[in-house]
Amino acid sequence: MSVDQVDPLISSIYQWMDVSGVLLMGIIGGTLARQRGYDIVGFLFIAMLSALGGGMLRDVLINQGTVAAMRQPEYLILAFTGALIARFTYFKGRAWEFLQSHGDALVSALWAATGASKAIQYGLPVLPTIMMGVFTATGGSMIRDVVTGREPSVFGGNQPTVIPAVACAVIVLVGNATDFLALTMVLGPVVSYVLFLFGYYGNWRVSQDPDFAPVNATVNATATQVASLARKAETRSRAVARELEPRTVRAWRHKQMEKALQRRIENEIRRGKQPATARSDADEFLTEFTNQFPAIDSEILAEADVEKQSNEENLFQGFGVDLAGDSYDANVSEPDSAETEAMEAVNADMLDLILSDPALTDELIERLVERYKQKGT
C-alpha cells in the first residue's frame, strides 16, 4: 500500500512535506557547492543529487517503472530552484545551522517512511524494506558527499541519522503487518524525529573507536588469564614434583654435573691452568648453579659430601633399621628405568636428557660457565 492509498489527509501532508523537503535539500546542496567554490553547473548537480539522490537510488534498486524524479518533473524543478536560491543567497550563521539540521532530520524522517511504504507496495521482504527506507532518507546526502570528495557524514562523527531512519521503517513495517499503516505513517516519522532531537541535544554519537573489539578483548583477556593460571599451575606442580621427586634423581643429576666439571677441570689443567685455581673456579660455579637451579639443590651437595666422608669412615653405614622408609634416599646410583619414567612424568624438562649424555653435559657446562663469567663481570 502506497502513501496515496493510506489516507487523504496523510497523503496531502506527505506531498507538501515532500515538496518542501526537495526544495530544502536543494538549498542545502547549493550551499555546499558555494562552500566548495563550484560554478553554477556544480550548484545544479549537487542540489539535484542532494535532493533527489535517495529517491532515485531507491527506485533504481526496486526496479519497478520509471524513477519518480524523472516521471514527475516538478521534483527536478524544485531541486534546481533550491540551487539557484543558494547561488544568489548566502546562508550562514546559527539560525541557518539550526534550520538545516532540524529541517534535514524532519525531511529524512518522512522520506524513510515513504521509502519503506513503497518497498511494502512492491512486496519486498523485511530487510530490503528497511534498507529502502534508509536509502531514501540518507542516500542523497551520501551521494552528494562522495561526489564532492568528502567522507559521507552518515559514516561517523555525527548525530545518528541512520538509526532514526531504521526505527521509522520498522514502525511502518509493524503497522503494515497489524493493519495500522495509516497510524504508523505518522508515528514512524515522529519517533524518528524525536530520536534525532535526543541525539542532537544529548550530543549522541555512534561509536567510531577503531580499537573497539570486545570479542578480541574477551578472547585476549581469557587467553591471558588461562596463560597466567597455567604458569601458576606449572610453577606449583614443579614445586610439588620437587618435593615428591626421589632424592636419588637429584643426587644422580648432581653426580653427572660433578663428572662434567671434573672433565672440565682436567681439560683446563692440560691447558696450563693451576689445579687449585681450576678446582676453586669449578666449586664456585657449582655452588652458584645449585643455588639457582631447583632441580639440583645445595642440600644434595652437602649430603653427598657428608655421605662420602661417612662411607670412608664406616664400612657398615649401609646396614641398619629403616623405620622412616628413607634409607635409600642418599643412594647416588643412576636411577633405573622405572624411576626414570616416573621422573619424566613429573618433571618434563630436558635436563635429564642432557645430563645423560656426557657430550651434551660438557656443552651445557661450557655455556653455563660463560654466563657465570659474564655475570661476574
Q: What pLDDT, on the 0 to 100 scale, is given for residue 75?
A: 93
What is the mean pLDDT of the segment spanning 19-40? Answer: 92
Q: Which three cell numbers stand for residue 75?
A: 521534483
Residue 212 lies in a domain: no
Please check whether residues 153 and 288 belong to one and the same domain. no
Give dist(CA 196, CA 199) in Å, integer. Answer: 5
Please check the confidence at residue 61 and state whether its pLDDT lies above 60: yes
What are the respective helix, strand and coil percentages of the chain, to the nearest 5?
75, 0, 25
Q: Which three cell numbers stand for residue 147?
A: 561526489
Residue 240 lies in a domain: no
Share of the chain above pLDDT 90, in %: 32
Q: Quick: pLDDT tens for 124-153.
A: 999 999 999 999 999 999 999 899 988 888
Which range in 5-14, 124-133, 296-305 is most confidently predicted, on average pLDDT? 124-133
Residue 208 lies in a domain: no
Return the minimum-mean-pLDDT range out of 65-74, 199-208, 353-362: 353-362
Q: What pLDDT, on the 0 to 100 scale, is given for residue 130?
A: 95
Residues near 297 by Cβ (< 8 Å), separated by ≥ 6?
A: 250, 290
Best CA proximity match to 17, nearest among 117, 107, 140: 107
Report residue 349's pLDDT band, with 50, 70 and 90 as the boundaries. low
Residue 258 lies in a domain: yes
Q: What pLDDT, on the 0 to 100 scale, is given for residue 220?
A: 67
> Within a 13 Å sphere around the CA of 236, how many CA atoms are in the beta-carbon half?
6
Please check whether residues 12 and 74 belong to one and the same domain. yes
Please check whether residues 33 and 169 belong to one and the same domain. yes
- The residue range of the domain holding 343 is 245-314+327-376
Return the minimum-mean-pLDDT range out of 28-42, 197-211, 258-272, 327-341: 327-341
Q: What pLDDT, on the 0 to 100 scale, is given for residue 279?
A: 75
What is the mean pLDDT of the segment spanning 261-267? Answer: 78
> Residue 26's CB: how many other CB atoms inside 10 A?
31
Please check whether residues 295 and 197 belong to one and the same domain. no
Q: What pLDDT, on the 0 to 100 scale, is given for residue 219?
A: 65
| Average pLDDT of the chain to the nearest whole number | 76
Q: What pLDDT, on the 0 to 100 scale, is given for residue 236?
A: 66
- What size, in residues, is the chain? 377
Report residue 237's pLDDT band, with 50, 70 and 90 as the boundaries. low
Q: Are 334 and 324 in contact (CB under 8 A)?
A: no
Please check whether residues 149 and 265 belong to one and the same domain. no
Q: What pLDDT, on the 0 to 100 scale, is given for residue 3?
A: 52
Please check whether residues 87 and 179 belong to one and the same domain. yes
Interior angle at CA 152, CA 151 and CA 154, nearest 5: 135
Q: Quick: pLDDT tens for 90-112.
A: 888 888 888 988 999 999 999 99
Q: What pLDDT, on the 0 to 100 scale, is given for residue 370?
A: 72
Q: Quick: pLDDT tens for 312-336.
A: 444 444 444 433 434 434 444 444 5
Please check whether residues 122 and 67 belong to one and the same domain. yes
Please, where are the H alpha helices in 153-295? 162-177, 181-201, 214-244, 247-270, 275-292
Last residue of a domain, one of 135, 168, 201: 201
Please check whether residues 288 and 150 belong to one and the same domain. no
Last residue of a domain, one of 201, 228, 255: 201
* Strand residue runs (E) in the chain: none
Please check whether residues 167 and 290 belong to one and the same domain. no
Residue 83 lies in a domain: yes
Residue 229 lies in a domain: no
> Within a 13 Å sphere around the CA of 371, how many CA atoms are in the beta-carbon half?
10
Q: What pLDDT, on the 0 to 100 scale, is given for residue 326?
A: 44
Which range in 12-16, 177-181, 252-256, 297-301 is most confidently predicted, on average pLDDT? 177-181
Report residue 17's pLDDT band, with 50, 70 and 90 as the boundaries. confident
Please check whether residues 27 and 164 belong to one and the same domain. yes
Return the minimum-mean-pLDDT range out of 101-105, 231-235, 278-282, 290-294: 290-294
Which residue shows C-alpha cell 692440560? Answer: 270
Please check whether residues 52 and 194 belong to one and the same domain. yes
Report residue 250's pLDDT band, with 50, 70 and 90 as the boundaries. low
Please check the confidence at residue 337 and state whether its pLDDT lies above 60: no
Please check whether residues 353 and 286 belong to one and the same domain. yes
Please check the confidence at residue 308 and state whether its pLDDT lies above 80: no
Residues near 279 by Cβ (< 8 Å), separated by ≥ 6?
A: 265
Residue 351's H or E segment, with its range, is helix 351-355
Return the minimum-mean-pLDDT range out of 98-102, 190-194, 224-228: 224-228
Q: What pLDDT, on the 0 to 100 scale, is given for residue 6?
A: 62
- Name the pTM for this structure: 0.56
Q: How many domains does the chain have?
A: 2
Q: What pLDDT, on the 0 to 100 scale, is given for residue 188?
A: 94
Interior angle at CA 42, CA 39 and CA 46, nearest 5: 145
Residue 261 lies in a domain: yes
Residue 319 lies in a domain: no
Last residue of a domain, one of 201, 228, 262: 201
Give dist(CA 103, CA 90) in Å, integer. Answer: 18
> Residue 185's CB: how many other CB atoms inside 10 A?
27
